[in-house]
Chain A
Amino acid sequence: MIGRLAAADGAEPAPLLPLEVEGLVVEAGGARLLDGLAFTLRPQRCTVILGPNGAGKSLLLRVLHGLVPPARGTLRWSEPDPTLRRLAQAFLFQKPVLLRRSVRGDLAVALSARGVPRRQRRARIEEALALVGLDGFAGRAARSLSGGEQQRLALARAWALRPQLLLADEPTASLDPAATRAVEAILRDLRARGVTVVMSTHDLGQARRLADEVLFLHAGRLLECAPADRFFARPVSAEARAFLAGELPG
């Protein structure tokens, strides 16, 4: 298939991270949506992007994943090859994009697109579905699952791709509390398996539960980049203090 990425079969992938971001600017229609961001993303942690609506959280995740090109600035990844960088990442959308197929078929397309050999796919699929508690769902139509199950399936798909970096855009924004807890547990599990997680959320409780580090965005600017304990105990910027006090719209 044209455009399919070749995966090195069994070879140990080169490390994707750390990533050094400098002077990152994204513009659209004359407006500056991300304005001079600079930070370092280190491996093996959970970084939570916090900020009010319209701060640029989703956009930053899309830039990191290569879905949106920056207008200016540099992203210095440890892995220089863009194709291999893409192979080392998975993206979780707020509303999971599931194919009009069975659960197994949805995962199989992702594995095939990423060049995982056919003989390995079945085992990968079963293992990933078991990880998220969807064993026995392989034959169901992916879109017939509940909202929480759909996001767990999207997590299974992400894990099946064996990413070093998982980018998650408000993964629990439209879920009920029980489904939210289930997704958080899976994110912690992936983190324990060595996956670096970068996620956005407007749920402060979730950020406290999951974050090792916090990036606080406000109106396209990065106002804080700090260890989670420090950020929640002693926010530096007035905007972050207002946000934590619930005085900015989440």
Chain B
Amino acid sequence: MGPLGISGEIGEAAATALRLLASADPELLGIVALSLQVSLAATALAALLALPLGALLALARFPGRGALVLLVNAGMGLPPVVVGLLVYLLLSRSGPLGEYGLLFTPTAMVIAQTILVTPIVAALSRQAVTDLLEDYREHLASLGLRPLAAVPVLLVDARFRLATACLAGFGRAAAEVGAILIVGGNIRGHTRTMTTAIALETSKGALAQALALGFVLLLVVLSVNLAAAGLQRVARRLEG
């Protein structure tokens, strides 16, 4: 396909994307809603685990801390298909958690994405708290606050970088396809998300449809980031 062909495809896809959105196609809206639901839930769960973990890794000194930091940093590069496969093995009928019947449900997708997002948020928040502590260390010591007692102060003061860490995690979740394809199964109306739908349309050769979904996905991610930026502006204004 020549350059003209590509731009033709892109133009057609953009038009299709707008048409799909304008028509408020219920199937598309369902796919968008499920994608958002799964990725936001996974990001929220990951944040609950990773923010305290990141603070702990920045502040506490214990044997094996260096190895754990290395592990968490390396975890940012976890291949989604591998995570999907491991969660699949855990949740499949013969697996240790098979009795709960979670395979091919949105819950399974949330579990897989939480595993993918947690190391990203933990590693970035550890670095954010470490940098802040460098700046605050003597002042906190002068006030008589030991580092662990200062966790609330540090988490509040690192809030903007922590928010960015969560956004990076959300970006990872919203963009990945390997894990949720394996544990969700891409079942129409049940576990089909934007990325799995894009993979399906591409494999069917419906490239315009796939690209259109791609545009919608980009729009959704952009909207979430815009909303977060707006919230940060409001927060900065409120703090004076």
Residues of A within 8 A of B (CB): 1-5, 62, 65, 67, 83, 86-87, 89-91, 93, 97, 99-103, 105, 109-110, 113-114, 139-141, 144
Contact = CB atoms under 8 A, between A and B. Distances in A.
Contacts of A144: 240
Given A67-B142, A83-B144, A114-B144, 8 more contacts: A3-B148, A3-B149, A90-B142, A91-B142, A97-B135, A97-B139, A99-B153, A109-B153
Given A67-B142, A97-B136, A103 B240 contact: yes
B141 interface: yes
Interface string B138-155: 111111111011001100
25 contacts: A1-B149, A3-B149, A4-B149, A67-B138, A91-B138, A91-B139, A91-B142, A93-B138, A93-B139, A97-B135, A97-B138, A97-B139, A99-B136, A100-B157, A100-B158, A101-B156, A103-B240, A105-B239, A113-B140, A113-B144, A113-B145, A114-B144, A139-B240, A141-B236, A141-B240
Contacts of B149: 1-4
B87 to A, nearest CB: 37
Nearest to B161: A100
A2 B144 contact: no
B135 to A, nearest CB: 7
Interface in B66-117: none
A65 B142 contact: yes
Contacts of B141: 67
Interface in B170-204: none
A3 B144 contact: yes
Nearest to A104: B240
A200 to B, nearest CB: 15
A93 B135 CA distance: 12
Interface of B: 135-136, 138-146, 148-149, 152-153, 156-158, 236, 239-240
A62 to B, nearest CB: 8
A73 B143 CA distance: 25
A90 B140 CA distance: 12
A68 B99 CA distance: 58
A22 B52 CA distance: 44
Contacts of B240: 102-103, 139-141, 144
Contacts of B239: 101-102, 105, 141
Contacts of B236: 141
| Closest 10 pairs (CB-CB, A-B) | A3-B149, A97-B139, A3-B146, A113-B143, A102-B240, A139-B240, A100-B157, A91-B142, A5-B144, A2-B149
Contacts of A109: 143, 153
A4 B153 CA distance: 13
A89 B141 CA distance: 12
A25 B142 CA distance: 21
Contacts of A105: 239
Nearest to A98: B139
Contacts of B138: 62, 67, 91, 93, 97
A136 B208 CA distance: 60
A87 B143 CA distance: 8
The CB with the most chain A CB atoms within 10 A, among B136, B143, B145, B146, is that of B143
B14 to A, nearest CB: 41
Contacts of B139: 91, 93, 97
A4 B157 contact: no
A5 B142 CA distance: 11
A155 to B, nearest CB: 14
